[in-house]
């Protein structure tokens, strides 16, 4: 006997409730036979004109619908909150968990059997995955895809990465403000996410490496016709997944997360992947900790893309994309099921590289042992993160005096002071930018180099904070210090002049201050008043976990797969 589909609890009932559910849907022109028990597929769309990265998703939704109809399903598109990384204040990360709640409750409340997640911009992909994983219906991702390469004076320029470089050049007097403004119009030339290996393209790459999308999803440009074809094929595949009852819990295993960590190292992926993977693992019940990320520390950098290299996502696509990277990592990959209901090896079967300067072979990498490093010590008892592939090698082993900014306003008011008492050896410390403190853990960890040092030619120095940084950013930046300052972590106790020791090779981050002195400082410390006292932001501050636990809300960890049985009428 065929199992009754979930959607039939809405549309298969021959009573008042079934009448209501069907009749209102029919005002959109759906005929009787659309409700004959075929799989109903939700298309979870984060399209918004305030999220430029996702501006092509309305078109991709039509491609998904074609595939669903072809496979005998019934597609229904619904909107959820859209998080525009470049547009939202104080930070889109504040709202990732709100999007996850929106996705989870929408999927749970509506009569659908499976869902296609249309996202792309940094926080939309993890937010959608977190929400879908907590309901655990068959789910698959279609990313919006990267923009075309940026262009300025005949040269390729990359989202974020070149913004930071150009901005520092203006501050150093090496680039005019007029030239800086001229570059703006050539930076973002089409729909799509950052065309550097920023967080959006990182998460799309990891989704592919975890088997939660079809092969080639990560790198196809947003405006490439092959992305529309991929959307069509995804619509077809989700109907098959419903028939197979293939759910996120079947795919998002510990082995899949380990494959994502390995892939993140090889592509030079964003540090933001750490908090997103940790949060997602918490939803599916996988025991993932910062220690697990150390398996990627010896993996070499294979993808020569900004910010760790010189090329962009369009070039990565034409060179062969994620399938080539996975083929190079084959000896290290764990067996893991994918949305194809096959092992991950099927995602890179027959993969060919067409440009070895963009995707290097494992035995001739862009940079050896370039995976993210986890640092611990009295300054970060629960861990911190550094990205060696985007750092200055000499600074990864360093001891220096701290100069402390108590908050982001302090930094902005003083970073360009001519009399700022800093040298290239100084370690900049920023407090109050963690999950609770900002709130939302913004991408301000890659602090500007002080203006006086920029003019001297300094382009990198150690920076330590409880914040994140953009996946497009670069530098010797130590992030996600946990516990954060606002939660009473040791970071809150650092004073200007204290000495700090960093050793990436040994995984150490230590404040060289006597324990008795730290105890005295801790006894005198008081947290700052919260920035928000009502609404979602207060809920977030009260319940957000620390960075080493993925910065999810404590009451959202785990899942609830129960069918809602109570009707609204």
36-90, pLDDT tens digit by residue?
999 999 999 999 999 999 999 999 999 999 999 999 999 999 999 999 999 999 9
**Structure token pair of residue 126:** 């993890």
pLDDT confidence of residue 202:
97
Q: What percentage of the chain exceeds 90 in pLDDT?
A: 96
Residue 427 is classified by DSSP as: E
Phi and psi, residue 356, nearest 5°: -75, -5
**Structure token pair of residue 133:** 């994983």
Average pLDDT in the chain:
96
pLDDT confidence of residue 2:
62
**Residues contacting 161, CB < 8 A, separation 6+:** 196, 306, 307, 472, 473, 474
Kindly state the helix (H) or strand (E) to which residue 499 belongs, with its residue range: strand 499-503
pLDDT confidence of residue 295:
95
How far are the Cα atoms of 201, 214, 324, 353 from residue 345, in angstroms, in the given order? 21, 12, 11, 16
- Can you say whether residue 550 is alpha, beta or left, with left for phi > 0 and alpha for psi between -120 and 50 degrees? left
Q: Using alpha carbons only, what angle is made at residue 207 by residues 133 and 189, rounded to the nearest 5 degrees?
A: 120
- Can you say whether residue 268 is alpha, beta or left, with left for phi > 0 and alpha for psi between -120 and 50 degrees? left
pLDDT confidence of residue 398:
98
pLDDT at 21 over 80: yes
pLDDT at 525 over 60: yes
228 within 8 A of 118, measured Cβ to Cβ: no
pLDDT at 367 over 60: yes
Mean pLDDT lowest for which of 141-145, 150-154, 357-361, 377-381? 150-154
Q: d(Cα 243, Cα 241) in Å, to the nearest integer?
A: 5
pLDDT confidence of residue 3:
78
238-270, pLDDT tens digit by residue?
999 999 999 999 999 999 999 999 999 999 999
24 within 8 A of 165, measured Cβ to Cβ: no
Provide the pLDDT confidence category of residue 522 given band limits of 50, 70 and 90: very high
- Can you say whether residue 551 is alpha, beta or left, with left for phi > 0 and alpha for psi between -120 and 50 degrees? left
Q: d(Cα 565, Cα 569) in Å, to the nearest integer?
A: 12
- The pLDDT of 505-533, averaged and rounded, is 96
The position carrying tokens 């959307």 is: 231
pLDDT confidence of residue 1:
38
282 within 8 A of 218, measured Cβ to Cβ: no
Phi and psi, residue 315, nearest 5°: -65, -40
163-193, pLDDT tens digit by residue?
989 998 898 899 999 999 999 989 999 999 9
């Amino acid at each position: 006997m065929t199992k009754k589909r979930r959607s039939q609890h809405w549309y298969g009932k021959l009573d008042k409730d079934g009448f209501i559910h069907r009749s209102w849907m029919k005002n959109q022109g759906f005929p009787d036979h659309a409700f004959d028990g075929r799989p109903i597929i939700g298309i979870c769309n984060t399209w918004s004109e305030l999220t430029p990265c996702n501006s092509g998703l309305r078109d991709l939704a039509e491609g998904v619908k074609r595939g669903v109809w072809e496979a005998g399903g019934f597609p229904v598109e619904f909107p959820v909150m859209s998080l525009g990384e470049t547009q939202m204040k104080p930070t889109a990360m504040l709202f990732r968990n709100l999007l996850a709640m929106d996705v989870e409750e929408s999927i749970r409340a509506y009569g659908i059997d499976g869902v296609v997640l249309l996202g792309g911009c940094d926080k939309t992909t993890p937010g959608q995955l977190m929400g879908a994983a907590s309901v655990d219906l068959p789910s698959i991702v279609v990313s919006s895809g990267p923009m075309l390469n940026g262009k300025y004076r005949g040269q390729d320029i990359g989202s974020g990465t070149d913004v930071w470089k150009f901005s520092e050049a203006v501050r150093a007097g090496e680039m005019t403000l007029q030239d800086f403004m001229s570059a703006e119009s050539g930076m973002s030339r089409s729909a799509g996410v950052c065309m550097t290996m920023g967080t959006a393209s990182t998460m799309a790459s990891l989704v592919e490496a975890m088997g939660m999308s079809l092969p080639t999803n990560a790198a196809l440009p947003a405006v490439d016709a092959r992305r529309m074809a991929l959307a069509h094929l995804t619509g077809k595949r989700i109907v098959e997944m419903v028939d197979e009852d293939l759910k996120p819990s079947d795919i998002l295993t510990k082995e899949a997360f380990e494959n994502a960590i390995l892939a993140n190292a090889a592509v030079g992926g964003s540090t933001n992947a750490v908090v997103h993977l940790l949060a997602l693992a918490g939803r599916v019940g996988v025991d993932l900790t910062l220690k697990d990320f150390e398996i990627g520390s010896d993996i070499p950098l294979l993808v020569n893309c900004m910010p760790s290299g010189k090329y962009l996502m369009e070039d990565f696509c034409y060179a062969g994309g994620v399938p080539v990277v996975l083929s190079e990592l084959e000896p290290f990959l764990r067996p893991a099921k994918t949305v194809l209901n096959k092992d991950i090896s099927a995602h890179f079967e027959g993969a060919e590289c067409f440009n070895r300067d963009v995707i290097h072979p494992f035995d001739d990498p862009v940079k050896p042992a370039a995976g993210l490093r986890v640092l611990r010590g009295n300054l970060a008892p629960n861990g911190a993160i550094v990205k060696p592939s985007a750092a200055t090698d000499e600074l990864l082993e360093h001891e220096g005096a701290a100069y402390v900014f108590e908050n982001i306003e302090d930094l902005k008011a003083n970073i360009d002071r001519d009399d700022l008492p800093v040298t290239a050896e100084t370690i900049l410390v920023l407090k109050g930018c963690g999950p609770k403190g900002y709130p939302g853990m913004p991408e301000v960890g890659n602090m500007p180099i002080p203006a006086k040092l920029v003019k001297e030619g300094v382009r990198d120095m150690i920076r330590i904070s409880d914040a994140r940084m953009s996946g497009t950013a670069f530098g010797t930046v130590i992030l996600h210090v946990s516990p954060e300052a606002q939660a009473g972590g040791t970071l809150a106790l650092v004073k200007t002049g204290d000495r700090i020791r960093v050793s990436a090779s040994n995984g150490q981050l230590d404040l060289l201050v006597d324990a008795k002195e730290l105890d005295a400082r801790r006894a005198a410390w008081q947290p700052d008043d919260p920035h928000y006292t009502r609404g979602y932001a207060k809920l977030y501050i009260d319940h957000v976990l620390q960075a080493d636990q993925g910065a999810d809300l404590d009451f959202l960890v785990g899942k609830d797969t129960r069918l809602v049985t109570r009707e609204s009428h």
